[in-house]
Every structure is written in C-alpha cells, then in structure tokens.
Structure 1
Amino acid sequence: MKGTKQPWAHRLLGMVMVAGLVMGMALHAEAGAETTPRLVIGQGASTAEDGGAAALEAVERSRTGLGERPVSFVMVASSEGYDFNQVISGVRKGYGSGVKIWGLTSHKGVMTREGWQKGKGLSVMAFSSEHMAFGVGDAELDDPEAAARAACRMAVKDAGKSPDEKPAMILMTASFGEEERLVDEIDAFFGGGVKIFGGSSGDNNLSGEWRQFSSRGVHKKGVVLTLIYTDLKIGTMYGNGIGYVATGKRGTVTRAEGRVIYEIDGRPAGDVYNEWLGGTIAEKVKNGGSLMFEGILAPLTQTVTASDGTSYNLTIHAVELNKEDGSLTSLAVSKAGEEISILHGSSDAHFNRPPIVAIMGRTDGRIAPGEVAGTLFFCCACTHMVLEGRVGGFIPMVNRVLNNAPFLGAFTFGEQGFIPGLGNRHQNLINSMIVFGKY
C-alpha cells in the first residue's frame, strides 16, 4: 500500500479548504468591532546545540511578534538530545523567572509556520494576555492515577484557582504507555466536561529519549499538565479517522488485555488481521514481527456512536504480531466485546490531513482567519514515517488556513483529545489542533 495514490484525498482537501474559506469570510463578517487583541502569541525557534543558548535564541526571535509584552506561559516543543534543565533555565532567563512552562520532545524535529525543523532544535510559543490564567502541574508516573491527581492539585494551586472551578481546557503530555489511565483520572478530578488535549512525548527511534518538562523540572517517565482558564475563543479538532476509508471487514474482540488483542471472533488476532490484509503478512504470522508500517496504512478501528448519533472511528495502531500466540500488540487499549474493523489509508491522505484538521479546529471555535492568535498541533509520528521526503510539505497549506499565525507542532507517540458526545480519549494515528483566538 506504500505510495498508493488517492485522488479522493485531493478532492476532499479542495472541498474542505473552499468550505473553510467561505466559513472564514462568514465569521469575519459577523465579528465585532474589537480590534485590540486580548491575546498575543509570539513564536521563535533555534537549532543551537546548547540547550540554554537554543532557548534564549528562540525567546529572542519570539519578540518579533510580542514586542516587550510580558509573558506568563510558554509551550516548548523540542527534539531529543538537549539538557532540558538548561532549556528551562534559558526560557526563564528570557521571559522572567515566573514564567510557566509546558514542554515535550517531538519525533525527529519540530514544526513551525516557517516549516519542518528537522533534527536538533526547539521552538517556543509564548502567551501574553490579561484574559488567561495558567496552572502547571507535573508528577512522576510510578502510579498513573496518583500521578494524575497530584499533577491536577499542583496545577490548580499554581493557577490560584479552586478545584471546583473548571478550566476551559487542559493540555497534557506524558511518556507513552499509561495515557488512558491518566486521561480517565484527570477527567474524574474535574467531574468531566473539560477538554483534554495533548500528545505523548516522542523521540527519534523509540529508544526512550523522550522527555516531558515544566518550570519545576524534567521527567523521563512523567506527566505534565497545564490548566487554561479563559473566556477567549479556543477551537479544537481531534481528527480521528480523517483520511481513512472503511473496508467492511470487521469482527468482535473476544479476548484482550490492556493493549494486547489476543482473539478476534475466537481466533488468533494475527490470523484475522492477516486475512483482512489479503495474506500480505503471512510470514509474520509464522515468525512474528513488527507491524509498524502496516498498522499505519491499515489500522484497526473501533466504531463507536456518540450521544448525538454520530459515528466515529477510533483508530488503534497494531505494532507487533507475537509469534507465540498470534496476538497483536497495539498502542491503545482494547476490550473484549468491542466491535473492531480495519481501515485503509495512504501517504497522500496523511499529507492532506493537517490543513483539513486546521480548518475544522478554527471553525469549531468560530475564529475567523484574521483572528487566529496561534495554533498548537499534535501529529502522530506515524505521519512522519509514511511521508518520507514530504514531511512538512503541508505546512504552507496550514499557514494559509491559519492566516500565517504562530504555529507549533510536534510529532507524538499517541494523542489525547475530546470527541463531542464521547468525551476525552487517547488514540493513535491522530492529527489534532488547538486554535487560540485573539478575542
């Protein structure tokens, strides 16, 4: 399936972009007379080798958009390989010791509106607003539920708020492996109804060099949360299933434990997956092996129906076929009794997804193109894996949708987001956008 052309993907992109431009004009027409931004975001990047120097250079470049405005909160996306205590020190030196930091590492580089910053480097996105309050909390992941509660309590205190006051949204990053438990516990802490968006920190080759960090310190296996309190416009889109088409091949999970699917319809899950793929992984059924690439272009999916009747495909990336029992190891939790099927995608569809998701995120917040203050983008690292030399080629299209506003993107090892009628979820192979409005 590698390199398969999908003309429908280009047609869909064209239709959605036209619709987005029309919606943008309509939003602009209905916008009020307010002209002074209530939120200003500055962005800067650096490829300096030293962590402190890179942070200071990125801060200085962000001043082009910020001027001398005070900064209360900064997001940092970085490649692996830095001394992140130096990065934290550089950010605090540049913006002031009281600045609050939320940061994560990204697979093989970071994305900005200037393009794909491959290799070692970092980017900052700094927030200046009197109409936003931020609270950052972090914890080690020895016990996921306890860590989630501790990070929530810390973040509430850091924001100067009460636990009864719900934030507008929550940013989350963690080391991959326990995301479902973290999301459930964070959701429960605030009584549900608060959007949780984020991405699991990545590294270059799954070697464990991912990091999560805040102004308090650096974690290899931890969780970092930011609570955002505001009445400004925020649009979100959790792009599950976008760019994939259904195949009609489906079954029921009859045995599963955590992220391992043992049986589908009472048979070894690997045998069923091989049949759904037309026998193309027969050798791996016999000897075991990685399904990383097959799982990107032909993911498993759980079809669920939201409270409003809308159906969603929640993608599950199978990454290993286990020789001993024919089971499938995946990157998301499955449960016995769930209906499961297989989708079909392509590299072209992955290339065209980001601008589509950007349009949907912007219109979700009813934010006109000229009202975009900045955007945070979480993109599954698998998109990087299938795009080869085209990584970052979609950024000019994203810039067009977002009026060239500050844009910070990371390639992550799993994505968290909110689905209307279903709530907060952790899945794989997702593009998600958070679009912050100026007003």
Structure 2
Amino acid sequence: MKIATAYSVSPSTPIACEQVIEQLLQQSETLPQLIVCYYSANHQYLQIAKNLQIAFNSSSIIGCSSCQGIMTASGFHSQSGYGLGLWALWDEVGNYGTALESFSDTSDESIVAATQKALITALDNAQRPGELPDLIWLHASPGYEERMIEAIENLVGKQVPIAGGSAADQKIQGHWSLFAQAAVATQGVAVAALFPGGEIGYSFHSGYVANRALGVVTASHGRTVYEIDHHPAADIYRKAIGLVATSHPRHISILKHSSFCPLGLLSGKVDQLPFFKLAHPSALTADGGIELFSEIKVGDTLYLMKGSKESLIHRGGRVTELSLTEPFSCEQPIGALVIYCAGCMLAIQRDINEVVHSIRQSLGDELPFLGAFTFGEQGHFITGENGHGNLMSSAIVFYQRMSQ
C-alpha cells in the first residue's frame, strides 16, 4: 500500500489539473486504485472530472468542492481562493468503488433512493456486491445528510462506519459540486466503498466543550428550532450568547457570532466522558426560531457549546491522533484523509497553517494527507453511531501490514 498527494494553486483549471496529475504520475509507474479530489468551488469542476477520468481511467475517483482551498502536509493551499488537491491510494490487495447520483426531487423518498443506488453502484464497481465495506466515504450537497446516513444504514446496517463531508463553495451561495468518474452534480450524493488491504482508523471530533444546558426542544421542523422549554428559541439563544435583540423582528444572519458558541446534542458517554454532536446556528428567524445546518428534533436536549481559537487549531491534530489509537499492532499508518469544517476554517483562517502543523504533529511529518473544508461533517462517534454535524472534524487513517 502507498499513499501520495499533489496540489496546485493555479487559478487556471487546465493548468492546475496538468500540475497535479503530473505530480502523481511521477510517483508510480502504475495507476492508483483510488483517487480523492478536493478543489475550491471557483474551479471548473467539469474540466477537473474530465481530466482525471482521462489520466486515471482505471482508478476509482471521487471529488468534492471545498471552501477557499485545500490542505496537505505541505500546508494550506489557496491563492486568491483557488486550490486543487489529489490524494491517491495504491492498494493491489484492496477493492474500491465510487459512484454518484444526482437528484432534483428533494423528498425523503428521492434522497433515500438516490443514496442507496449510489452505494449499490459503488459496491458493484468495487467488485464486492452485497458485501459490507470496512468504511463508506460520503460526500453530499448540503441539506439532506441525515436522510442519506439513514438510507445507507438501512442498506448495510449501523455497524459500517460512515465518514466524510458536505460539498462547499466560497460564500454559501450554492455553487458547490461533486463528481465520481464521469458523473457530475451540483445536487447529489457521492460515495466510496472501501475494502482496504490493510486497516482503517477513524475519528469524529468537535473540539468544543459544553458550557451549560439550554433546555429541551419543544417545537422544531427539520433544521429550524422554534421553541426551547416552550419559549422562543431565538430569545433563549440570543440571551445565552449576549446578542442584543433587534427592535423589530426580522430574519438575521448570526454566522459571525455562532462559530464559537454552537448548539450541542449529547451523543453518548465513554467512561463518563460526554461526546457531543454540534449544530451550527446560521440565522434567527422573524418568528423566533433558529435556523441551523443540521437537524434538531422535539425532545432533544440542547447544550450551549464553547470553543476557542486554540481549541479549533489543535482539533485537527486531535482528530487524527484519535484515528491513530486503533490497536493495529501489526500495521503502520501510511496516510490520511481529513475533513475540517469550513466555518471553523474561516473563523481562524489566518492561523490555518497551525492546524496543518497540529495534524503533522499527530500523524508524523512524513505521512501524506489531504484535507477539505466542508459545509457539514459526517463521522462515526466513539460511542458507536454514525452522525452528521457542524463545526466538526472527521478523519480516517490508512494502515498497511508490516509485511506489505
């Protein structure tokens, strides 16, 4: 097994593609079994997908747009908001399959059907139909991730870990995209079914701590919470974070206020240590609700979470460190994929290379990794459940057997 990465910050999509493809082809005489591509959303994703398919015509490929740029062990890569990165895995013993399904109908039935079709196709492409993969790598257009996770679990069960991130653009304008082989989409679901020849360690981490309980949700719909303990949710959250009320009720964005104080849901405890899934408030509504980037249900107990610049910087290293704690005594780590929330990246963008340094410290300077900045994160909690959250980080680390 072998992992290598390549990157370019050229604003020209054809030139950036030529550079990263050449970098990878120089590292092996054979084509990799799996290619993961992350790119800033202002690149021409159709051109990227086409060029990769031509250059790596026997490889399984999955691609997802990232906010502002990408990161590797060499640093944060973005020039005027342009960045393109490739991650390649050579593993002749393993099997890998990718697939993408687009959808225009956003009903639950359509989302479930598209997700399950994508997974079945990915398993077929891995030449392992009907089998349970070691891990499912998921990329999706934002907004429907909970339904997608449920659809996957209904097909393969909850024991298969799911990890990945939601496609992003530069300014939350809906300009995100996905691709797999020749298929492309701006609204869809892309999956990779992984059957590695070695092992995979994984982790899902927030980097925030619980400040205090806010109360129980008593009215909600989808990704909007209307009441907490039968009081307007916006009033409770506004008071909790010290945000002054407006004189006239209106819809207002609170993204710049909420990145360090999101809402949390307890996902479980290990040795009395609580683990939380985060929900990022995006706006307060004129009718007293809170709009979020993940789903909240009636009966959920919400916690006010607290983060800091330092905790977000070191979280990248923490999530990869946790992925390294898997007890694979006969194997050694060879590289990683890292998902880091775009909202957190934007909050600490001047210090983003410190995040890279933190990841390098945990993985080791020689281990290659590729990271994307996403509008939603998926992962497998240490408590044993798959989940979708916000302002979080997800990582998987690949191990090869010492004899390989």
Match of residue 153 from structure 1: 120
Is contact 2:100-2:184 (8 Å) kept?
no
Stretch moving more, 190-199 or 244-253: 244-253
Match of residue 201 from structure 1: 167
Is contact 1:174-1:224 (8 Å) kept?
yes
Distance 1:182 1:70, change over 3 A: same
Equivalents in 2 of 1:410, 1:173: separation in Å?
11
Distance 1:414 1:336, change over 3 A: same
Match of residue 433 from structure 1: 395
Counting helix residues as a fraction of each chain, which structure ranks higher?
1
Q: Deviations over 1:258-290 (max 9, x none)?
A: 100000000000111122223x23238844411
Residue of structure 1 aligned with 2:268, choices 305, 323, 330: 305
The size of the alignment, in residue pairs, is: 393
Stretch moving more, 43-52 or 284-293: 284-293
Query: Where in structure 2 are the equivalents of 1:408-423 lying within 5 Å?
Result: 408-423=370-385
Match of residue 40 from structure 2: 79
Q: Does 1:184 align with 2:145?
A: no
Residue of structure 2 aligned with 1:98, choices 51, 58, 67: 58
**Residue type of the alignment partner of 2:285:** N
Q: Deviations over 1:155-186 (max 9, x none)?
A: 111111121x1000000101000000001101
How many Å apart are 1:72 and its aligned residue?
1.7
Equivalents in 2 of 1:179, 1:126: separation in Å?
26
Residue of structure 2 aligned with 1:130, choices 92, 115, 138: 92
Distance 1:84 1:234, change over 3 A: same
SS of residue matched to 1:90: helix
TM-score by length of 1: 0.85
Q: Deviations over 1:330-355 (max 9, x none)?
A: 01111111111201111221112111
Equivalents in 2 of 1:159, 1:304: separation in Å?
32
Match of residue 314 from structure 1: 277
SS of residue matched to 1:167: coil
Residue of structure 2 aligned with 1:264, choices 214, 228, 235: 228
Is contact 1:254-1:264 (8 Å) kept?
yes
Stretch moving more, 171-180 or 224-233: 224-233
Equivalents in 1 of 2:345, 2:11: separation in Å?
23
Q: Does 1:351 align with 2:313?
A: yes
Identity %: 28
How many Å apart are 1:306 and its aligned residue?
5.3
Equivalents in 2 of 1:232, 1:420: separation in Å?
21
Equivalents in 1 of 2:115, 2:315: separation in Å?
31
Match of residue 203 from structure 2: 237
Is contact 1:307-1:422 (8 Å) kept?
no
List structure 1 runs of 4+ shifted beyond 6 angstroms: none
Counting strand residues as a fraction of each chain, which structure ranks higher?
2
Query: Where in structure 2 are the equivalents of 1:243-254 lying within 5 Å?
Result: 244-254=208-218
Distance 1:270 1:264, change over 3 A: same
How many Å apart are 1:312 and its aligned residue?
1.7
How many Å apart are 1:59 and its aligned residue?
2.0
Q: Deviations over 1:340-396 (max 9, x none)?
A: 12011112211121112121111236479x932211110011111211411222212
Equivalents in 2 of 1:149, 1:363: separation in Å?
31
**Structure 2: stretches of 5+ with no match in the other structure:** none
Match of residue 362 from structure 1: 324
**Structure 1: stretches of 5+ with no match in the other structure:** 1-38
Residue of structure 2 aligned with 1:172, choices 117, 138, 147: 138
SS of residue matched to 1:68: coil
